[in-house]
Amino acid sequence: MEAKKLYAKLAGHFITEEIKDVDWAKRMPALDPYLYPAFKQNGGIGLMCDFASDVDKVYTTVFLSDKVLSWILSKNLSSAMLYYRAQLFAVNNNI
């Protein structure tokens, strides 16, 4: 799927003003050059880094940590996406 369309669809379902979390973007200053602008604007919720024009796999996490990021990096994935959303309760099957 085209990455930009997928990002917009997920943001429409999962990012709302009512949901707040620790501002992860501010806690990761070394990653700032790589962080997706909306990740910084949304207080560290949503798409963290944008490196793909097309996405074949999506991984989600409720608990963002070094272990999660290390696991993703260790898989040497391409065309994949890690999507973080605080308080993720359900996934809409229409996505």
Does the pTM surpass 0.75? The reply is no
Give the pLDDT of residue 86: 57
8 Å CB contact between 85 and 62: yes
How far from the centroid of its chain's Cα atoms is residue 22's Cα? 14
Q: What pLDDT is attached to residue 21?
A: 65
pLDDT per residue of the chain (95 residues) written in tens, 0 to 9: 898 898 888 888 777 776 666 677 788 788 888 888 888 887 777 777 777 888 888 888 877 788 888 888 898 887 888 777 654 443 333 44
